Amino acid sequence: MIKISPSVLASDFSSLGAEAKRMEICGADYLHLDVMDGRFVPNITFGAPVIKSIRNKTNLIFDVHLMIDTPLDYIEDFKKSGADIIVFHIESSSDTAATVDKIIACGCKAGISVKPNTPVEEVFPYLEKLDMVLVMTVEPGFGGQSFMYETMDKIKTLRSEIKRRGLSTDIQVDGGINDKTVETAAAAGANVFVAGSAVFGAEDAAKAIDDLRNLAEKAFIG
Ligand code: DX5
Ligand code: ZN
């Protein structure tokens, strides 16, 4: 139920394949891959060819977070690169329903993300089709930012809507997750935790992952 998804944004990009394998050995559940296009967010990272280049380095589930303006145009590319879960932003320019359908048609699990100022109710019409909703706990674009506690009400609202409908949708949080904030997010109803600096910046990444998981398991309200 609780999943830890280290974000490679905080890793050593010169050894991305080895970093991915290291996360698998350290006990991660997913590998979080932040794709930024310099348009949807003011930063550029990497795209499908880079993801493809590390696909055979690890068996981890690839959790691809698209912070790009027209995700619909690139879903097939990311599927081919080895993505397992594709999450895009509802604030992007692509049609939301068409993008969800395309991800599912490609055989991937679909997720929608909301930025801190976007009401979470915007994802409600698509909930039945989604495996995951990502509630951003920082403004997307950069690692190492501080967790925004004001996003917790959205997680509580979303968790009760998921329960009300009898769904098993995962709620992911991303941004500023560490051993001080993970319990707050889990207590609000999140169960998938992205962590960049808290894992890659730790001296012992396996311990950091284990600590996050244990704290989240104790605090998760289910
Ligand atoms: C930010 C990215 C995050 C980022 C999180 O836009 O979506 O995945 O890597 O980094 P930390 O955990 O350092 O806040
Ligand atoms: Zn992310």
What is the chain's pLDDT, residue by residue, as a tens digit (222 residues)? 999 999 999 999 999 999 999 999 999 999 999 999 999 999 999 999 999 999 999 999 999 999 999 999 999 999 999 999 999 999 999 999 999 999 999 999 999 999 999 999 999 999 999 999 999 999 999 999 999 999 999 999 999 999 999 999 999 999 999 999 999 999 999 999 999 999 999 999 999 999 999 999 999 987
**Pocket test residue of 194, 199, 209 for ligand 1, highest count of atoms within 8 A of CB:** 194
**Pocket test residue of 138, 177, 209, 212 for ligand 1, highest count of atoms within 8 A of CB:** 138
**Pocket test residue of 4, 5, 9, 88 for ligand 1, highest count of atoms within 8 A of CB:** 9
Q: Can you give the pLDDT at residue 182? A: 98
Alpha helices in the chain (DSSP H): 16-25, 48-54, 75-81, 96-105, 152-164, 182-188, 197-200, 205-219
Q: Can you give the pLDDT at residue 145? A: 98
Question: Does 174 qualify as catalytic in the annotation?
Answer: yes
End-to-end CA distance of the chain: 9
Q: What is the pTM of this model?
A: 0.99
The verdict on the CB of residue 6 being under 6 Å from ligand 1 is: no
From residue 133, how far is each of 10, 51, 56, 91, 149 by CA, in Å? 22, 22, 27, 14, 18
**Ligand lying nearest the CA atom of residue 111:** 2
The verdict on the CB of residue 115 being under 6 Å from ligand 1 is: no
Instruction: Please give the distance, rounded to the nearest whole angstrom, from the Cα atom of residue 107 to the centre of ligand 1.
Output: 26
Instruction: Please give the distance, rounded to the nearest whole angstrom, from the Cα atom of residue 144 to the centre of ligand 1.
Output: 7
DSSP code, position 131:
S
Q: Can you give the pLDDT at residue 222? A: 72
Q: Can you give the pLDDT at residue 221? A: 83
The verdict on the CB of residue 43 being under 6 Å from ligand 1 is: no
Distance CA 153, CA 213 (A): 22
Annotated active-site residue in 29, 69, 174, 204: 174
Instruction: Please give the distance, rounded to the nearest whole angstrom, from the Cα atom of residue 174 to the centre of ligand 2.
Output: 6
- Phi–psi pair at 72, nearest 5 degrees: -55, -35
